[in-house]
């Protein structure tokens, strides 16, 4: 028996005696099955040739990413807080060295994930630290490894603690979530967005897609909803899903103007 991991999206599945036949997350039109067909690995196998790098991003914020790159290649973020650290988004590889280093940074009190592409081995992480894993109810069908650690939350916001709030923005996924960290960016506020709000090559801008690999856009209504969801929050900085995906300063203005530019383009007046 093993918990197989899809090598294209990095999602870990419930225990089975043989590898699952397919990965529903990769068969969905927002992802893709790799050219050689569906392939799997396991945590023990992944630990052979990969390790995690932990690098400070700013005061009380650390990135955790796997090297060499695995699957979608996102890095997680560890937000340090007096009320317990929050792990935002997740990666497939977890090993003793990572657990030790994270514990040295104060451990983990809760894990929250933006959307199913980063569910990765989050259940394994939740078990390792003995904490709850917060996923939005609207994406329940994409959970490939059911576990008592998972808390499906409902509605549009969830305050994990006084200055760390989950905001459901939708868009890329029905339950697409971003995380507002009010004390980030020296108190100006930080938004951690995964790829629900995607930091693009020109770091003054962001974008929004239904599928990134297959370039399927979102409707104007869905983009307006994302902008409205984050409107009540102050933030100067955005951390996207990758190491260099950072918008700063004026990140909130960037979301507004990027949405305007996008809507103009899809409505035919660009």
Least gap, CB of 81 to Zn ion (angstroms):
26
User: If DSSP codes are grouped into helix, strand and coil, which group holds residue 122?
Assistant: helix
Tell me how far, at minimum, the Cβ of 188 lies from Zn ion, in Å. 27
Q: Least Å distance between CB 45 and Zn ion?
A: 16
With respect to Zn ion, which residue has the nearer C-beta, 75 or 117?
Answer: 117
DSSP 2: B
Residue whose tokens read 């383009």: 265
Of the candidates 229, 226, 218, 230, the one whose C-alpha atom is nearest the C-alpha of residue 262 is 218
Residue 70 C-beta: closest distance to Zn ion, Å: 12
| Between 142 and 262, CB nearer to Zn ion | 142
Residue 155 — left, alpha, or beta (φ > 0 → left; ψ -120 to 50 → alpha)? Answer: left
Nearer to Zn ion, 11 or 98 (CB): 11
Q: Are 31 and 213 in contact (CB under 8 A)?
A: yes
Shortest CA distance to 84 belongs to which of 59, 102, 106, 58? Answer: 106
Q: Which CB atom, from 25 or from 150, has the smaller least distance to Zn ion?
A: 25
CA–CA separation, 89 and 102 (whole Å): 15
Residues that bind Zn ion (CB under 5 A): 6, 8-9, 23, 25-26, 117, 195
Check: CB of residue 65 under 8 Å from CB of residue 52: yes
**Cα–Cα distance measured from residue 167 to residue 145, given in angstroms and rounded to the nearest whole number:** 23
As measured in angstroms, the least distance from the Cβ of 118 to Zn ion is 7
The smaller minimum CB distance to Zn ion, of residues 69 and 264, is found at 69
């Amino acid at each position: 028996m093993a918990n197989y991991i899809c090598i294209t999206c990095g999602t870990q599945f419930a225990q089975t005696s043989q590898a699952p036949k397919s990965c529903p997350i990769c068969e969905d039109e927002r992802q893709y099955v790799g050219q050689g067909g569906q392939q799997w690995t396991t945590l023990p196998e992944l630990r052979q040739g990969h390790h995690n790098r932990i690098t400070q991003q700013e005061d009380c914020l650390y990135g955790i990413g796997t090297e060499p790159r695995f699957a979608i290649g996102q890095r997680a973020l560890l937000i340090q807080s007096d009320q317990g650290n929050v792990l935002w988004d997740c990666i497939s590889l977890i090993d003793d060295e990572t657990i030790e280093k994270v514990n040295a940074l104060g451990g983990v009190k809760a894990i929250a994930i933006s959307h199913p592409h980063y569910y990765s081995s989050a259940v394994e992480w939740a078990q390792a630290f003995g904490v709850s894993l917060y996923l939005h109810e609207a994406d329940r069908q994409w959970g490939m490894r059911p576990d008592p650690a998972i808390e499906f939350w409902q509605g549009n916001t969830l305050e994990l603690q006084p200055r760390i709030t989950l905001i459901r923005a939708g868009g890329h996924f029905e339950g697409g979530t971003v995380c507002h960290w009010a004390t980030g960016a020296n108190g100006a506020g930080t938004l951690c967005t995964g790829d629900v709000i995607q930091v693009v090559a020109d770091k003054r801008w962001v974008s929004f897609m239904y599928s990134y690999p297959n370039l399927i856009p979102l409707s104007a209504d869905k983009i307006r909803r994302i902008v409205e969801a984050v409107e009540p929050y102050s933030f100067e900085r955005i951390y996207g899903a990758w190491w260099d995906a950072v918008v700063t300063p004026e990140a909130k203005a960037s979301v507004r103007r990027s949405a305007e530019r996008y809507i103009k383009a899809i409505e035919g007046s660009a």
